[in-house]
């Protein structure tokens, strides 16, 4: 049987109710899973009854002569964020925190907003997504088509977050709720079921670190159950111009800019100290240039794979660090999401 526990990553205090920060020290929560790994993926979650989306349909893993990739854009809104919104909304509905007709808010650079908006639609709640001025128009149009409204905020990511938090609606910021990133554990279970053995390296686009954390927790769960011999090296890949985590790890101080990989914002992640310790043990954080990202996306088209620039960072890193052997790319979003940038 699977058991999950939510507690503060800094002082260890348990979450008391639905607060998004620890009442003792003000830090965000993490979620830990223990117990057996269940074959039916949904059974690895103990905090909701009904999943909004079927969890037993893995996204494909394709193998070309040059790379192996898990195509996370085979999902309702064409990005991996649906996995996290699925577990978060299923939890919020089951627990009674969300009720039909509620007004809820979120801040997003695009993909999370689109996914949030679809799940608001399915949950029959009214969503408002706060976006930064100049955000990707394609993603904004996508999220509006599912029924949520957008509010454009001038200023940095923090200003957008503050506006979403203080707008008077229930704030469902995906970075704060651990049930969101916990949805990405499913990726690790799927890889374990789909491949005869775990790859040596998994290359993961990195922005706020939620995808990285979820895959890590899933791998840890598999390891605890002796279903894998060791955890693959988890690579956190960022654009050079938007590299909050890389800069934190390397003591670099610089202004973060907007990358062509628009889903990767370069903010310092909420749980950056915790993530730093995981990268220190199990991974590596690296950056790739804008030109390398452009070339990577163009090269992947030759293999018939159309991913967004934010996903192509992984292929850029595979080439840059010579990782052709036994590596898996996580391709997070479909290339159609970048049409407004081309």
Q: Which residues sit at the interface with Zn ion, rule CB under 5 A?
A: 8, 10-11, 13, 22, 24-25, 27
Question: What are the tokens at 103?
Answer: 């007004």
Nearer residue to Zn ion within complex by CB, 25 or 298: 25
Question: What is the separation of C-alpha 107 from the centre of its chain, rounded to a whole number of angstroms?
Answer: 14
List phi, psi (to 5°) of 217. -65, -40
Reference 211, options 229, 241, 238; nearest CA is 238
- Return the bridge partners of 152, or none: 131
| Spatial distance between the Cα atoms of 156 and 167, rounded to a whole number of angstroms | 17
Quote the least distance from Cβ 215 to Zn ion, whole Å.
25
Nearer residue to Zn ion within complex by CB, 12 or 155: 12
| Spatial distance between the Cα atoms of 148 and 118, rounded to a whole number of angstroms | 8
Hunting for tokens 């030109």 — which residue is that? 291
Quote the least distance from Cβ 207 to Zn ion, whole Å.
24
Quote the least distance from Cβ 24 to Zn ion, whole Å.
4
Quote the least distance from Cβ 276 to Zn ion, whole Å.
18
Quote the least distance from Cβ 14 to Zn ion, whole Å.
10
Quote the least distance from Cβ 116 to Zn ion, whole Å.
26
Which run of H or E residues covers position 4? strand 2-8
The counts of H helices and E strands in the chain are: 11, 12
Nearer residue to Zn ion within complex by CB, 44 or 175: 175
Nearer residue to Zn ion within complex by CB, 8 or 263: 8
Reference 203, options 273, 287, 125; nearest CA is 287
Quote the least distance from Cβ 41 to Zn ion, whole Å.
31
Reference 303, options 288, 290, 318, 291; nearest CA is 318
Contact 262, 309 (CB under 8 A): yes
Contact 231, 220 (CB under 8 A): yes
Nearer residue to Zn ion within complex by CB, 22 or 329: 22
Quote the least distance from Cβ 53 to Zn ion, whole Å.
32
> Would the CA dihedral through 110, 116, 118, 124 be positive or negative?
negative
DSSP classification of residue 59: P
Nearer residue to Zn ion within complex by CB, 272 or 319: 272
Nearer residue to Zn ion within complex by CB, 8 or 78: 8
Contact 288, 272 (CB under 8 A): no
Nearer residue to Zn ion within complex by CB, 126 or 272: 272
């Amino acid at each position: 049987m699977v058991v999950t526990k939510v507690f503060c990553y800094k002082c260890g205090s348990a979450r008391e109710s639905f607060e998004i920060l620890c009442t003792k020290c003000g830090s965000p929560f993490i979620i830990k899973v223990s117990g057996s790994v269940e074959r039916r993926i949904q059974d690895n979650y103990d905090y909701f009854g009904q999943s909004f989306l079927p969890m037993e349909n893995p996204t494909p893993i394709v193998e070309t002569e040059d790379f192996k990739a898990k195509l996370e854009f085979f999902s309702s809104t064409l990005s991996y964020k649906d996995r996290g919104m699925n577990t978060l909304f299923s939890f919020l509905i089951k627990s009674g925190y969300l009720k039909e007709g509620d007004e809820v808010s979120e801040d997003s650079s695009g993909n999370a907003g689109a996914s949030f908006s679809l799940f608001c639609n399915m949950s029959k709640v009214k969503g408002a997504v706060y976006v930064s001025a100049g955000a990707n128009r394609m993603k904004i149009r996508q999220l509006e088509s599912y029924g949520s409204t957008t509010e454009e905020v001038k200023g940095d990511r923090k200003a957008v977050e503050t506006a979403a938090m203080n707008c008077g609606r229930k704030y469902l910021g995906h970075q704060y709720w651990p049930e969101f990133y916990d949805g990405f554990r499913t990726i690790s279970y799927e890889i374990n079921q789909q491949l005869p053995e775990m790859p040596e390296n998994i290359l993961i686009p990195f922005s706020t670190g939620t995808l990285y954390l979820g895959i890590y927790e899933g791998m840890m769960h598999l390891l605890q159950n002796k279903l894998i011999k060791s955890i693959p090296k988890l690579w956190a890949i960022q654009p050079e111009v938007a590299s909050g985590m890389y800069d934190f790890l390397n003591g670099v101080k610089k202004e973060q800019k907007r990358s062509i990989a628009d889903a990767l914002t370069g903010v310092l992640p909420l749980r950056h100290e915790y993530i730093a310790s995981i990268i220190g043990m199990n991974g590596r954080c690296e950056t790739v240039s804008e030109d390398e990202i452009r070339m990577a996306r163009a090269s992947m088209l030759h293999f018939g794979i159309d991913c967004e620039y934010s996903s192509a960072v992984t292929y850029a890193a595979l080439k840059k660090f010579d990782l052709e052997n036994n590596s898996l790319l996580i391709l997070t979003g479909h290339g159609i999401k970048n049409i407004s940038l081309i």
